[in-house]
Structure 1
Amino acid sequence: MTPSVKQPVPKELDIEYLIEQLTIEEKVSLLAGKDFWHTQNIDRLNIPSVRVSDGPNGIRGTKFFNSVPSNCFPCGTGLAATFNKEVLLQAGELMGKEAKMKGAHVILGPTCNIVRSPLGGRAFESYSEDPVLSGHAAANVVKGIQNQNVVACLKHFVANDQEHERKAVDEIMTERALREIYLKPFHIAMRDAYPKALMTAYNKINGVHVSQNKKILQDLLRGEWGYTGTVMSDWHGVYSTKESLDAGLNLEMPGPTRFRQQVPTLHAIQTNEIHTDVIDDNARAILRLVNESLKAGIPDDVIESPNPTKEASDLLRKAGDESIVLLKNENNILPLSKTAVKGQEKIAVIGPNAKAAQDSGGGSASLNAAYKITPYEGIESKIIEGGNSVSLDYSLGAFLDRNLPDVGNTLINEEGKKGITAKFYKQAPGAADREHFETFTLSTSKIFLSDYKSKHLKPGQLLFYADFHGIYIPDETGDYEFGASCLGTAQLFVDDELVVDNKTKQVKGDAFFLGLGTREERGVKKLEKGKKYNIRVEFGSSPTFTLNKAALEGGGVFFGIRMISTAEAAIAKAVAVAKEADKVILVVGISKEWESEGFDRPTMDIPGATNELVDAITAVNKNVIVVNQSGSPVTLPWINKVQGFVQAWYGGNELGNTIADVLFGDYNPSGKLSMTFPKRLQDNPSYLNFASTHGQVLYGEDIYVGYRYYEKVGVEPLFPFGYGLSYTTFELKDLVVEYDQEIINAKVSVVNTGKVDGAEVVQLYVSQVNPSINRPVKELKDFGKVFVKAGETKTLELSVSVKEATSFWNGYKNKWQSEKGKYKISVGNSSDNITLEDEFETSKTYFWLGL
């Protein structure tokens, strides 16, 4: 018999032909993933597999462990703070290019859920509290991705706004809130960019999980919006077989399937519990996804590669520069000078984030960044440019780490470079004739082996062992704390002395994805400055775990080292440094350990002793600038004590350079807040109704999310939505509104009245003069950004359809309603600074549906 030869995949599948040719078993197999990152292929009919990849902060590829380095973009709330549609488009295009380099046909992003509360664990991953800003941001990123013939998978549809009980929580909300706030970003992105794939949310809405909600997936998405793209689940976000298929959840991810197994699914089909037309319709959607993926032209044997180009770094820096928001600048303390005016000048750089690179929040958005510039490194490079007439001093000041810090960039590996040597074995430590089969060099001591595979292990073999080695050289003599948490077992040795035992007695903690691992066990040993110490961690994979036999595949281990110091001692050292400085840059905030997928923040406060640090520094030095890194608001009780305040988000690879660009004036800040910063958590509209209570959460604030609430009830925030300062001044004038019953065009002149070139964001809000129902004071409807040289004037034009500008959701009619009457157009450079107004009037009331 002549062996069959695999035929080349055609440029486009004939979907209806394949529907006729596929067996019912093959159709069912298409409706769930093959593995964690791939759809099922059918070689008999030349139907290829589609590869997907996280995510919203950059393209990780198909590996958590020892992944190919990636470019990390500023977080979603930072990208939205650019208010620059063109930069968002360019970011999407770069994501699309890099997806091809990772062999990915589909990017699992962007995320356009609403930042309902500052406490939301994935708030950083979304764009804004405002649905219009969120929608335009998502639409432009989607356009950019799909310009590269890569599929964008918009997520999480809909209202995945908290992490607490995210797979179980039932979100109780009005249809009006669902339509006007939570669905609106998806509505805009569908209308303007049409993402070819959509990912459902984990949660329920009004009693039904979204992934099996026919009202949302069939009636609204497919029927009302006319969507023909592919709908996939979030990972393990399927809760039924029949209901999810009937609702049009085309693809269960990841594989292998939990709910669409051959025997029970075929039985349901044979007994007419599931109609064959339902199977065909879902299979068609998978084949449409394959056709869209074929357009990328990615070869089957692609080898994942990074993108270490200047063009990529330049765009990441541009996006980062534009994302940073200057919120306070008393006495023009900023920008700083790279050169001393009179003699030598000293700048102290202090804070837990100064020498840490907070590139992204945690969870599926995090990745192995190709490089990371810390704020201290960025600032230092500016001083070097200036000729070193300004000197730098540094102090940690306060601890931020939830667990002991990553030492991947501190240890020295067997090659004499920074990093960790990892050696893998088939037998446990101490075994006779222990067989070593693989060695890696790692850049992190936070080692997640959930997807570790080796040709030296049998298929499905999860039991293995690894030793992680490195040399540690202390900067100071003193007592040092060593820690290790694991999903498996781990023991940490210093010069062969057991210091941490997380093997013989394990206690459940919150380590690893969704808190499946142990707590961090710690031990103490005195070390001498400059001496070399051999650090070894002996790890056993997930089958050795004593607490949970259902651990994630190979498991993992996190370990860290830190000199023991009290908060008081760390602050005292920082105060001594600050006393000697002319100016102090305090780099504070939170990190992916505190803001992450899998859990929500317990409070809006910065953890640890940061507030005490700021109070102590401002008591001895009046020239203090605070740089805050977080993906969402934090409490700032000391804001009136500092002269400068900069919101820098999680800034991706170039975070240190972008912070320094703004601090030293190489970039004139132009970012605007993508969400309101309240004075305290209690002022936030979701305060009484955030997190799950016995499986439910009431969206009691209804449509009054963010600035809509603060303006309606007259609560003054700390910093309003859309706010941000510049090193120059702008005037908006000569507003001209053209209205033709379908489109509103507004032209405004932007004058740079200062001495520095810069960019200004113009925001257009609309309000109804005498509404028949309760409506917000005003709502953002469009925005634009324009660069204007000092002394010059440019005209910016904004445009919005009348129906989008005027409509609210009528719950009685179950339609959008554009009401006859007068409307006010308000134009300004933030939600609280409206400088130009005009009116228009509609001549009739009408109702509408669709996009």
Structure 2
Amino acid sequence: MATSTRLDIDRTLAKLTLGQKVKLLSGFGWWHTTPVPEADIPAIRMSDGPNGVRGTRFFNGVPSSCFPSSTGLGSSFDTELAAEVGKALADECHAKGCHILLGPTVNTQRSPLGGRGFESFSEDPHLNGTIAAAYINGLQSKGVAATIKHFVANDQEFERFSISSDVSERALREIYLKPFQIAVKEANPWALMTAYNRLNGLHCSENKWLLDDLLRKEWGYKGMIMSDWTGTYSTAESIQAGMDLEMPGPTVMRGNAVIRAIVAEKLFPHDVDTCVLEMLQRAYDSGIPFDAPERPLDTPQVRALLRRAAADAIVLLKNEKGLLPIGAGVHKIAVIGPNAKDAVTSGGGSASLLSTYTVSPLDGITEAAKEIGAEVEYTVGTLSHQYLPAIDPYITYDGKTGAFFEFWNDSPTDDWLSTSPNFSRVVPPAVWSTRTNSAKCFLADGIDDTKVNEICWLRASRHLFTTTFVPDEDGDWEIGMNIAGRGNLFIDDKLIIELSIDPKQGDSFFGLGTVDVRTVMKGLKAGTKHRVEVRLSNEAFIAKGAPFATRGGIRLSAMRQIDLEDGMKRAVDLAKASDIVILVVGLNNDWESEGYDRQNMDLPGLTNRLVAGVLAANPKTVVVNQSGTPVEMPWIGDAHTLLQSE
């Protein structure tokens, strides 16, 4: 583990060969710049943000503090809080050996349906930029580089790599560029990330007017400019425009292509003398070691800030009858709704992470109710998920929650992806294996690259101990699975879900996965163990041309089947029998995520009907909507008490 020392930039640059300089123009793997050991240049580590520091692994990552979505932080209008959050994120970057945090996001959303709308602070350019500046100043005060993103007009996920955001210059400057301009002026972010999309027909990562004329020369920006992941579409054009770093690695548009462009005099050596070394100096100055082990940072002080930030992100929209705060004299509180029992901590995609500390609304209300001697009773009412909830609470391996994954570089058997394989066949030893605590796995990282090839076969899992599925209630259970690759799910050696024969494309795994396929297993008994095995290969997935290296992905889900009409009746009956109802509804990371947009502003499923029914049953109802982007509320005229949470 290299320690930080002062770097002489001019001397280092002078002794580098052209080939070594070219190495610095692209990443090494998902989360590092390319090291040049012979020149004593280590790899700089990055991590996704903006609401947490996930570290270097989607798969089996180190737990992280999950702060409220940026929309929530913006709703606080509290620049001091934003700076505190930035400082806390910097502390976690130090704990994870991370020099560059990939946040904040300050895109101004043209549409309320944008999948990543929750990542930005506000649709108001001034508030967006002002909160971002405070966040950046807090983060960088502790030596960690902020990466303001995505420059610019990255407004939708649909066809995000190719879509053109066509904007007049006045609207561009007054609305879409303004938050970036404010943050550059007031906080000087040390890094900036270009957007995937085109701006008025030309990709942002190779737009010389945008990156050089406006950002560098007009605004005087001196920091490093990197691409979004796989968002570099040219060699000479992107370098001439001023885009310093292609991410992730291995390079696609740089490397030998840069050398060839120099030979052809489309580029010149001085074009390659970029500010990547300036960012390296920032990394040295930070005091963060290079190639450091990652560790969680979960302290009472961090938990207190997480709680305060979450509280300040809640907005009281209506309290017309003075129902809040709830005080003495209330004996029974009904907690109802699909967002009540589980802690929905963030949107999906780059913002997703494994949280160190969460408290669900139901748990929080139950604990607070003890202070006034009130009883709390819960029912879900209806469902709001797009995908079934992950099977994680119901699977065990070797007596512990989780599953076991094994990897091979060749198909272990000739019937590996068959819908009726011979389970008694002995398979060769796996080249690498690991256990995981979740059956929702994006296998882009966290795997031993020295042992597992890019094209591989895997199983989850029946090695030594069997992975088992144990329902906690009697009844019919819905089972769902989507994957990136081709594969099948077997339970008790019977085919349950087939995704091995030309599966249809879906939205999962950043748009690389299959559709989610569901089936029903009838008459399951609580406590009964069922053997689970998923067989998967990414061979066909890679052959189709994946935009980045990944071993695929698995999302395995399960829940007891619920009669929606019965659920609605239970909710109404509980509301009638209670003094006060707290109804927690909204969206979750199935609906708000990188990779796809929402189709409309409706609350999911039968949520609106549930709200209307509960309000009619008990007017003393506090409605809590949890979402990072706007939703329609056709019942709002009947709701006299309404909270917006992120």
Structure 1-normalised TM-score?
Answer: 0.71
The one of 482, 486, 499 equivalent to 1:485 is 482
Query: Partner of 1:203 in structure 2?
Result: 197
Task: For 1:247-646, list aligned pairs within 5 A.
Answer: 247-262=241-256, 264-280=257-273, 282=274, 285-337=275-327, 339-340=328-329, 345-386=331-372, 389-408=373-392, 410-417=393-400, 419-426=401-408, 427=412, 430=423, 431-436=425-430, 440-454=434-448, 457-458=451-452, 460=454, 462-467=456-461, 470-503=467-500, 505-543=501-539, 548=544, 550=546, 552-646=549-643
- How far apart in 1 are the matches of 2:200 and 2:449? 48
How many angstroms does 1:460 deviate by?
A: 4.4
- Secondary structure in 1 matching 2:584: strand
TM-superposition CA deviations, 1:345-395 (whole Å, max 9, x none): 211111111112110011111111123211111111112344xx3111111
Task: For 1:760-775, list aligned pairs within 5 A.
Answer: none
How many angstroms does 1:470 deviate by?
A: 4.9
TM-superposition CA deviations, 1:247-286 (whole Å, max 9, x none): 1101111111111131x32122122111222122x2xx01
Assess if the C-alpha contact under 8 Å between 1:100 and 1:298 holds in 2: yes
- How far apart in 1 are the matches of 2:535 and 2:167? 47
- How far apart in 2 are the matches of 1:148 and 1:97? 8
Task: For 1:184-263, list aligned pairs within 5 A.
Answer: 184-262=178-256
TM-superposition CA deviations, 1:588-636 (whole Å, max 9, x none): 0001110111111111111211011111212221111111110011000
How many angstroms does 1:544 deviate by?
A: 5.9
- How far apart in 2 are the matches of 1:523 and 1:239? 41
- Secondary structure in 1 matching 2:286: coil
Which residue identity does 2:610 align to in structure 1? L
How many angstroms does 1:184 deviate by?
A: 1.0
* Cα 1:588/1:522, change in 2 over 3 Å: same
- Secondary structure in 2 matching 1:464: strand
How many angstroms does 1:14 deviate by?
A: 2.2
- How far apart in 2 are the matches of 1:27 and 1:456? 26
Assess if the C-alpha contact under 8 Å between 2:432 and 2:452 holds in 1: no
- How far apart in 1 are the matches of 2:111 and 2:427? 56
* Cα 1:250/1:437, change in 2 over 3 Å: closer
Identity over aligned pairs, percent: 43
Higher relative contact order structure (alpha carbons within 8 Å, sequence separation ≥ 6):
2
Query: Partner of 1:171 in structure 2?
Result: 165
- How far apart in 2 are the matches of 1:493 and 1:42? 47
Assess if the C-alpha contact under 8 Å between 2:338 and 2:383 holds in 1: yes
- Work out the number of aligned pairs and report it: 630
How many angstroms does 1:457 deviate by?
A: 2.2
Which residue identity does 1:149 align to in structure 2? G
Assess if the C-alpha contact under 8 Å between 2:58 and 2:442 holds in 1: yes
**Please, which runs of 5 or more residues in structure 1 have no aligned partner?**
1-5, 650-851
Query: Partner of 2:419 in structure 1?
Result: none
Task: For 1:82-161, list aligned pairs within 5 A.
Answer: 82-161=76-155
Query: Partner of 1:675 in structure 2?
Result: none
TM-superposition CA deviations, 1:277-301 (whole Å, max 9, x none): 2122x2xx01000000111222234
* Cα 1:9/1:331, change in 2 over 3 Å: closer
Tell whether 2:16 aligns with 1:22: yes
- How far apart in 2 are the matches of 1:185 and 1:549? 36
- How far apart in 1 are the matches of 2:499 and 2:538? 13
Larger relative strand fraction: 1
- Secondary structure in 2 matching 1:288: helix
How many angstroms does 1:435 deviate by?
A: 2.0
- Secondary structure in 1 matching 2:394: coil
* Cα 1:546/1:25, change in 2 over 3 Å: closer
Assess if the C-alpha contact under 8 Å between 2:459 and 2:534 holds in 1: yes
Assess if the C-alpha contact under 8 Å between 1:9 and 1:48 holds in 2: no
* Cα 1:229/1:395, change in 2 over 3 Å: same
TM-superposition CA deviations, 1:161-187 (whole Å, max 9, x none): 211221211122111111111111111
**Please, which runs of 5 or more residues in structure 2 have no aligned partner?**
417-422
Assess if the C-alpha contact under 8 Å between 1:543 and 1:549 holds in 2: no
Assess if the C-alpha contact under 8 Å between 1:423 and 1:436 holds in 2: no
- Secondary structure in 1 matching 2:588: coil
How many angstroms does 1:322 deviate by?
A: 0.9
Q: Which of the pair has more CA radius of gyration?
A: 1
- How far apart in 1 are the matches of 2:93 and 2:570? 46
Query: Partner of 2:420 in structure 1?
Result: none
TM-superposition CA deviations, 1:434-458 (whole Å, max 9, x none): 4256664433321111224237725
- How far apart in 2 are the matches of 1:272 and 1:159? 32
- How far apart in 2 are the matches of 1:562 and 1:547? 34
- How far apart in 1 are the matches of 2:253 and 2:583? 51
- How far apart in 2 are the matches of 1:9 and 1:188? 35
- How far apart in 1 are the matches of 2:85 and 2:366? 27
- How far apart in 2 are the matches of 1:155 and 1:15? 26
How many angstroms does 1:9 deviate by?
A: 7.2
Which residue identity does 1:404 align to in structure 2? L
- How far apart in 2 are the matches of 1:406 and 1:275? 52
How many angstroms does 1:550 deviate by?
A: 3.4
Structure 2-normalised TM-score?
Answer: 0.93
- How far apart in 2 are the matches of 1:523 and 1:157? 43
Assess if the C-alpha contact under 8 Å between 1:437 and 1:456 holds in 2: no
* Cα 1:448/1:421, change in 2 over 3 Å: same
- Secondary structure in 2 matching 1:498: strand
Assess if the C-alpha contact under 8 Å between 2:460 and 2:467 holds in 1: no
* Cα 1:118/1:458, change in 2 over 3 Å: closer
* Cα 1:40/1:359, change in 2 over 3 Å: same
- How far apart in 1 are the matches of 2:95 and 2:312? 26
Assess if the C-alpha contact under 8 Å between 1:462 and 1:553 holds in 2: no
* Cα 1:484/1:44, change in 2 over 3 Å: same
How many angstroms does 1:120 deviate by?
A: 1.1
TM-superposition CA deviations, 1:9-30 (whole Å, max 9, x none): 7733222223322111111111
Assess if the C-alpha contact under 8 Å between 1:121 and 1:598 holds in 2: yes
- How far apart in 2 are the matches of 1:307 and 1:105? 16
- Secondary structure in 1 matching 2:97: coil
Assess if the C-alpha contact under 8 Å between 1:413 and 1:441 holds in 2: no
TM-superposition CA deviations, 1:450-475 (whole Å, max 9, x none): 22423772554633333286544445
